[in-house]
Structure 1
Amino acid sequence: MKNQLHLLGSRQGTYSWGEKSIMLINDKGRLALISVSGDPAAEIGQEEAGGQNVYVRQVGLALAKQGWRVDMFTRRIDPEQANIVQHAPNCRTIRLTAGPVQFINRDDAFGYLPEFVKQFQAFQKQEGYQYPLVHTNYWLSSWVGMELKKLQPLKQIHTYHSLGAVKYRSVSHLPAIASTRLAVEKACLETADRIVATSPQEEEHMRNLVSGKGMIEIVPCGTDIQRMGSIARQDARQQLGIPREAKVVLYVGRFDRRKGIETLVRAIAKSRWQGNADLRLMIAGGYRPGQSDGMECDRIKTIVQELGLNEIVTFPGRLTDAELPSYYAAANVCVVPSHYEPFGLVAIEAMACGTPVVASKVGGLQFTVVPEVTGLLVPPQDEAAFAEAIDRILSNPAWGEQLGEIGRQRVEIAMSWESVAYRLTSVYSKLLAQSAVQSVQKPQVAA
């Protein structure tokens, strides 16, 4: 019972257990974050390295600060990668070999998940302990979590990051994996001990499109409010060589058709600021030549050229963590033109830097961005609507500053990684307490 009670501690103090009072230490125990297809140690902006990677890494770091011993598991995709990356004293990424040690598109990774489960169990055996709780991320990882629950006692928490039921509504040809993904997502919602929705809109999609069963709790995504917002606009512009009076529009994210970059480029071509020497569009994101993101980048550059925008559009490439705050701060407006986003990390990063956001009125962006308060929402893939929204902010700098200030306040109050970690800790602690009670109450079998 002592070990079971040890898992319940949410902070140092005295806790009652029946008629006994027990002192618990600040060590909350071990926790596994599983992100098969999103390496927490990857460079953000590479192919299929975006919001999920940021979420898992930052949640892991914040949970470690609160007393958890966090191991983040992902699939190894390069023989040169380290097997273990230590991010902080109690937070590390562990890369497991499952299938060929090379990049594999997410839609092609399902067949290697049984091997991932075996490698996870082998790691536990090697370390001499089992994780009482796993927090899985994306549908591939949810399958891993459900399989592990069949093999050992544990509590599973899951964050979807993207729902196939939503994604597949906007594609003309379903991938071969579609039926499998939909079935796994439904099974996870109905069997996981807790589902974490990052917005009310995502919860609504789960209920309407996936299943009416299951336990859902809303915990938004977060951002680093110390790092984001650490530099003033004019200081950022001086650092980046951007003219003081320039009208700067910024996109940050992967090169993927679903991110709606083409819509943004065509909106800029329709802007009434087009032809003004002060207008700038920066499209920031990494890509690999010959891969899907590299081909999308080439396609966008072709559109830029066809529209005669070469003089005002720049591609700064993948931005490092150190560079991001300066680019966000330098912009007059940050645009998130995605066809769908469960949450939209870029939006809150921009808001944390005091930059107003124009975003598609889809998914969690409807929760993240408050229309006319922290930015503007417009129909997805509507070039004219995006052009009008961008122009409204560029044409009224004082209002843009006001939107940015309120956006910063909103993020400070509810969307720091620390606040996200506190809310997740509450969920974890309740589930582990249930495990301890169930274990104590479980009838003993006579020898």
Structure 2
Amino acid sequence: MSSVDIRKLQVIAPNFKKRLSGVTATVVRLVPVQSRSIAIAATGPVIPPHVPQIPLTALLTMPRSGPDGHRVWHARRNVEMIGGLALKYLLGKRLKLVFTSASQRKQSGLTRWLIRRMDAVVATSERTNSYLEHPAQVIMHGIDLDDYTPAQDRAALRGRLGLPDGVLIGCYGRIRAQKGTDAFVDAMIPVLHAHPEAHALVMGRATDKHRAFEQSLKDRVAAEGLSDRLLFLPEVPVEDMADWYRVLDLYVAPQRWEGFGLTPIEAMACGIPVIATRVGAFDALVVEGETGTLVDPDDIPALAEATQAALDAPETLARWADNSRPHIAEKFSIEREATDLVRLYRRLLA
């Protein structure tokens, strides 16, 4: 475990959720990069060993003041804002409270009340910022370009992962209607019928209340005779995800709603072009006609047509792939995100 000296700690990044999520992925990726510039540690029930961290129990006994007087507590969920307020006002810890919002809808009364008690607020996109009542600084997410790289030997990697050769189209993330998993399945059925060399991959986990939804999708695929070509794969750890992007020819992000949405930049950093819906920050991530294309959310015929058009024009797909990583390297490196956040922390600690 990558532990730190709590007495020297300047910033704490809580991650109170046990299950994999976009927020968890953000904390796991950012904290090691930020730790090169400032004394930061994550804390939570499940933090990978390579991430600088302190145990949750240490929050109760840590010194009241940090090396700069205050410490920064950077929350990304309501429960983490509540935790920071409890540490500050019930246990007397000297904290400056920061909240990052990715939501693109009107917040609940509780969330608005919590946000008003923050010392600084970060929005992950201009669209998110427009929903906030509290002034916010826009800092868009980035990706670790050392971890997410194109495949050296895609065929060998596919073999190692037990995947078929041919055209692979991926859709990764939680399996639920909000994420558009059913839109992906419905769009891929005609695509796969038209392209016998193609396979589609759905990777992610369905929570208990979405298990029936997942089974209905598998049943739909089976009824089309495509169970061996539209594959449902189990969720893998964050640190293994890059390989699953590298094997693809095309990534599809079919969400109906999204806060920010990391998967398109993960795919493009691996040199994989993207077809996405116009939700979250996707219209700022995907360059229309250069790194992929965009369609309206819940427009399944348009999603199928865009995918089929891409497969029918391999030279276009190759050009999108060539453009994808340079675009992410220029605009969405994790170093840029980490630098902007550390600059914010230092202002609060000054």
| TMscore range, shorter length | 0.7 to 0.9
Q: How does 1:303-342 map to 2 (within 5 A)?
A: 303-321=220-238, 323-342=240-259
Query: For residue 251 of structure 1, what is the aligned residue in structure 2?
Result: 171
Task: Please state how far the C-alpha of 1:191 moved relative to its aligned partner.
Answer: 3.4
How has the CA–CA distance of structure 1 residues 163 and 202 changed in structure 2, closer, same or farther, with 3 Å as cutoff? closer
Q: Which residue of 1 aligns with 2:4?
A: none
- Secondary structure of 2:131's counterpart equals helix
The CA deviation string for residues 249-279 of structure 1, in whole angstroms up to 9 with x for no partner, is 10111122211100010011233x5243202
Aligned partner of 2:39 in structure 1 is: 69
Equivalent of 1:237 in 135, 141, 158: 158
The count of residues paired between Structure 1 and Structure 2 equals 340
Displacement of 1:369: 1.6
1:423 aligns with 2:337: no
Aligned position for 1:54: 25
Q: Distance in 2 between matches of 1:164 and 1:343?
A: 12
1:187 deviates by 2.4
Match of residue 139 from structure 1: 78
8 Å contact kept, 2:123–2:137: yes
**What corresponds to 1:173 in structure 2?**
none
Residues in 2 aligned to 1:375 and 1:123: alpha-carbon distance in whole angstroms? 50
Query: 2:315, 2:100 → 1: CA distance?
Result: 38
Residues 236 and 330 in structure 1, CA contact (< 8 A), matched pair in contact too: yes
Change (3 A) 1:360 1:94: farther
Q: Does the 8 A contact of 1:63 with 1:421 survive in 2? A: yes
How much has 1:293 moved relative to structure 2? 4.7
Superposition TM-score, scaled by structure 2 size = 0.87
State how far apart, in whole Å, the 1-side matches of 2:62 and 2:8 are. 18
Q: Which of 109, 127, 134 is 1:183 aligned to? A: 109
Letter paired with 2:271: G
| AA partner of residue 304 (structure 2) | A
Does the 8 Å CA contact 1:139/1:160 hold for their aligned counterparts? no
Separation (CA, whole Å) in 2 of partners of 1:65 and 1:299: 47
In structure 2, give the amino acid aligned to 1:69.
A
Q: In structure 2, what residue type is equivalent to 1:215?
A: P
Sequence identity percentage:
24
Please state if 1:285 is matched with 2:204.
Answer: yes
Query: Could you list the per-position Cα deviations for residues 137-189 of structure 1 after superposition, in whole angstroms to 9, with x for gaps in the alignment?
Result: 12222233344443443211111243562xxxxxxxxxxxxxxx711221244
- How many Å separate the matches in 1 of 2:118 and 2:66? 25
Counterparts of 1:196 and 1:421, CA distance in 2? 13
Distance 1:299 1:123 in 2: 49
Q: CA contact under 8 A between 1:85 and 1:92: conserved in structure 2?
A: no
The 1:72/1:295 distance shift into structure 2, 3 A limit, reads: farther
Tell me, yes or no, if structure 1 residue 204 matches structure 2 residue 130: yes
**Contact 1:85 / 1:94 at 8 angstroms: preserved in 2?**
no
SS at match of 1:142: helix
Counterpart selection for 1:94 from 43, 52, 55:
55
Deviation at 1:287, TM superposition (A): 4.7
Q: How far apart, CA to CA, are the structure 2 residues paired with 1:276 and 1:379?
A: 24
Summarize deviations over 1:29-75 as a string: whole Å, max 9, x none. 52111232x34xxxxxxxx5221110011111111122x3323233x
- Structure 1 counterpart of 2:10: 30
Shift of 1:345: 0.9
Change in Cα spacing, 1:239 to 1:396, as seen in structure 2 (3 Å) is farther
Tell me, what secondary structure is at the counterpart of 1:274?
A: helix
For residues 256 and 178 of structure 2, the distance between their equivalents in structure 1, rounded to whole angstroms, comes to 5
Cross-structure match for 1:14: none
Partner letter of residue 61 of structure 1?
A: P
Matched residues in 2 for 1:144 and 1:159: separation?
15
In 1, are the aligned partners of 2:104 and 2:127 still within 8 Å (CA)? no
2:298 equivalent among 370, 381, 386: 381
In the other structure, the counterpart of 2:97 is: 156
CA contact (8 A) 2:151 2:247 kept: no
- Describe the SS at the equivalent of 2:280: coil
Measure the CA separation in 1 of the matches of 2:238 and 2:116.
37
Report the CA distance between 1:297 and its aligned residue: 2.7
After TM superposition, list the pairs within 5 Å mapping 1:395-406 onto structure 2: 395-406=312-323
Which shows bigger deviation, 125-134 or 307-316? 125-134
Rg (Cα) greater in structure: 1
For residue 109 of structure 1, what is the aligned residue in structure 2?
none
Corresponding residue number in structure 1 for 2:265: 348
Q: Which amino acid aligns with 1:71?
A: A
CA pair 93-397 structure 1, distance change in 2 beyond 3 A: farther
State the distance in 2 between where 1:186 and 1:201 align. Answer: 17
Structure 1: 5+ residue stretches without partners: 1-26, 40-47, 97-118, 166-180, 434-447
How far is the alpha carbon of 1:86 from its aligned partner? 4.4
Q: Distance in 2 between matches of 1:94 and 1:321?
A: 20
